[in-house]
């Protein structure tokens, strides 16, 4: 049985058509898009929910707002920007996905992302796992001591916390100290062997930002400002975010 073709209605005002045009770099012309598929070829979300970046962009260009703002595919996109990197026109498709996410009522957005965003806002660690300042510092010190004793070649290795004036402030995905603490050590070893001057902070140490993935501009900014303050309070020159 032949698949039913998508039917386009008459002329109607589209909230996305202008935004699509705004995402075309200066001198670009959306009408010249060859639907080459380069954007879809390297996309890890291609095929999920029957969607891909090329189809998503063309639906937006055709004014299919209802389909664009209702497809669950926008929540599968990792915002990795591979599609934009390979696009001959350099169209920022992830930004378009971000706009589509913002159109979803908050209560209809994925519960895992919403919950992680809300958890990160509860304290100054910014941890989506809810890890406290005390918990984080305890885990870091405990794991460091374990490896210093077990591996004599790294007996002098450090994993400083709240070191004032360090060159680099390191963020850490909060899943590691909570569920996989040993996964923090390889990076410590690299920094140790490189002679890097770095530190964690008990505040703003969590690298992830689910409020960004939820397309919540206000709380995305709040999370970032909390982290920036932590970096500035310790007087670090470089903010090294592992995400």
Which residues of the chain fall below pLDDT 70?
1-17, 19-34
**pLDDT at 14 (0 to 100):** 63
Note the pLDDT tens digit of each residue in 95-136: 889 989 998 999 999 999 999 999 999 999 999 999 999 999
Tell me what pLDDT residue 20 has.
66
Position 59 scores a pLDDT of 87
pLDDT value for 23:
62
Residue corresponding to tokens 């380069």:
38
CA dist., res. 60 & res. 74, Å (int): 13
Predicted local confidence at residue 6, as pLDDT: 47
SS3 21: helix
Beta strands in the chain (DSSP E): 168-170, 198-199, 238-240
CA angle 177-181-182, nearest 5°? 155
Q: What's the order of all strands across the beta sheet hosting 198-199?
A: 198-199, 168-170, 238-240
Alpha-helical (H) ranges within the chain are 17-22, 38-41, 53-61, 65-68, 82-86, 93-102, 111-120, 133-150, 175-179, 185-193, 210-213, 217-233
Q: Give the pLDDT score at 25.
A: 61
Name 145's Cβ contacts closer than 8 Å, sequence gap at least 6: none
The pTM score is 0.81
User: DSSP labels for 39-83?
Assistant: HHHT-TTTTGGG--HHHHHHHHHTT-HHHHTT-GGGGT-----HH
Pairwise CA distance, residues 90 & 158, whole Å: 43
Task: Judge contact between 31 and 62, C-beta under 8 A.
Answer: no
Q: Supply the pLDDT for residue 186.
A: 96
pLDDT of residue 243: 80
Q: How far apart are CA 145 and CA 21, in angstroms?
A: 56
pLDDT value of position 35: 79
């Amino acid at each position: 049985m032949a698949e039913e073709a998508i039917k386009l209605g008459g002329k109607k005002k589209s909230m996305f058509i202008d935004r699509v045009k705004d995402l075309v770099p200066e001198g670009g012309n959306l009408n010249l898009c060859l639907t080459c598929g380069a954007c879809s070829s390297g996309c890890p979300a291609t095929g999920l929910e029957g969607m891909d970046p090329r189809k998503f962009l063309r639906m937006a260009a055709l004014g299919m707002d209802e389909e664009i703002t209702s497809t669950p595919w926008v929540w599968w996109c990792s915002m990795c920007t591979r599609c934009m990197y390979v696009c001959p026109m350099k169209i920022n498709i992830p930004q378009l996905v971000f706009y589509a996410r913002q159109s979803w009522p908050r209560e209809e957005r994925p519960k895992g992302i919403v919950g992680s965003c809300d958890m990160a806002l509860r304290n100054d660690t910014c941890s989506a796992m809810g890890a406290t300042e005390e918990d984080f510092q305890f885990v870091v010190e405990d794991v460091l001591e374990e490896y210093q004793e077990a591996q004599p070649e790294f007996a002098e290795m450090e994993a400083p916390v709240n070191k004032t004036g360090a060159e680099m402030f390191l963020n850490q995905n909060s899943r590691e100290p909570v569920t996989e603490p040993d996964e923090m050590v390889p990076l410590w070893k690299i920094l140790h062997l490189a002679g890097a001057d770095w530190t964690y902070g008990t505040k703003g140490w969590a690298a992830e930002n689910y409020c960004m993935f939820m397309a919540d501009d206000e709380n995305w900014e709040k999370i970032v400002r909390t982290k920036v303050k932590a970096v500035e309070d310790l007087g670090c020159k470089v903010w090294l975010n592992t995400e």
